[in-house]
Structure 1
Amino acid sequence: MRIEHLRERSDLGVISTTALKSLGVSDPWRRCTPGGPWQRMHPGVVLLHNGPPTPDQHLTAALLRAGPGAAVTGAEACRRHGLPARGQEIHLLVPGSARGSGSLILERASPMPPSADVGGFPVVSAARAVVDACRFLRTTDEATALIAAAIQRRRCTPDELRAEARTNRYGTKLARDVLRDLGRAESVAERDARRLSRKIRLTTPHWNATIADANGVIIARPDAWYDNVGLAWEIDSRAFHYGPRDYERTLTRNTRYAAAGILVVQTLPTRLRDQPEVVARELKAAHKAAAARPRPPVHVVEVT
Structure 2
Amino acid sequence: MNHNTPLSPRPLSHLSDVQRRVLSAAQLRHHGVSAARSAAKCRPGGPWQQLLPGVFVLHPGPPTSEERLHAALLYAGRPAEGTLRGVPAQSQPGAAPAPDPAPYGDTMVTGLAALALHRFSSAPPLLSLDQIDVLVARTRRLRSTGFARLIRAHALPRAQEITGVPVAPVPRALADAVAQLTDANAVRRLLTEAVRGGHCEPAAIVKELNQARLLTRSHVVDAVDSLLAEGRAIAEDRLYAMVREHGLPDPLWNVDLRLPGGPHLGGVDAYWSDQAVALELDTRAPRHDEDAMWSEYARKREHLERLGITVVHITPKKLRDAAEQQAMVVRTALMASDDRDPAAYVVVLPR
Q: Shared fold (TM-score greater than 0.5)?
A: yes
User: C-alpha offsets along residues 184-222 of structure 1, whole Å, 9 cap, x if unaligned?
Assistant: 248xxxxxxxxxxxxxxxxxx999976xxxxx99xxxxx
- Structure ID, larger Rg: 2
**Match of 2:118?**
81
Provide the C-alpha distance between the structure 1 equivalents of 2:234 and 2:75, rounded to a whole number of angstroms.
Answer: 47
Q: Could you tell me which of 209, 228, 252 is aligned with 1:183?
A: 228
User: C-alpha offsets along residues 143-197 of structure 1, whole Å, 9 cap, x if unaligned?
Assistant: 11111111111111111111111122269734344102443248xxxxxxxxxxx
Instruction: Tell me the C-alpha RMSD between the 2 structures.
Output: 3.3
**Match of 1:19?**
27
**Match of 1:132?**
176
- C-alpha change, 1:8 and 1:40, in structure 2 (3 Å) is farther
Provide the C-alpha distance between the structure 2 equivalents of 1:30 and 1:163, rounded to a whole number of angstroms.
Answer: 49
CA contact 2:72–2:147 (8 Å) conserved in 1 = no
CA contact 1:132–1:172 (8 Å) conserved in 2 = no
Equivalences for residues 1-304 of structure 1 within 5 A: 5-6=11-12, 11-26=19-34, 27=36, 28-67=38-77, 68-84=105-121, 85-86=123-124, 88=129, 89-95=131-137, 96-97=139-140, 98-169=142-213, 173=217, 174-185=219-230
Equivalent residue pairs, number: 196
CA contact 1:44–1:65 (8 Å) conserved in 2 = yes
| Range with bigger deviation, 128-137 or 84-93 | 84-93
Provide the C-alpha distance between the structure 2 equivalents of 1:149 and 1:49, rounded to a whole number of angstroms.
Answer: 37
- C-alpha change, 1:170 and 1:99, in structure 2 (3 Å) is farther
Q: How much does 1:60 deviate?
A: 1.0
User: C-alpha offsets along residues 41-84 of structure 1, whole Å, 9 cap, x if unaligned?
Assistant: 11000011112222221111111111121011101110111113
CA contact 1:116–1:124 (8 Å) conserved in 2 = yes
CA contact 1:131–1:175 (8 Å) conserved in 2 = no
- C-alpha change, 1:207 and 1:83, in structure 2 (3 Å) is closer
Structure 1 SS opposite 2:208: helix
The gaps in structure 1 that reach 5 residues or longer are 187-204, 211-215, 218-302
Instruction: Report the TM-score when normalising by structure 1.
Output: 0.56
**2:24 alignment partner AA:** S
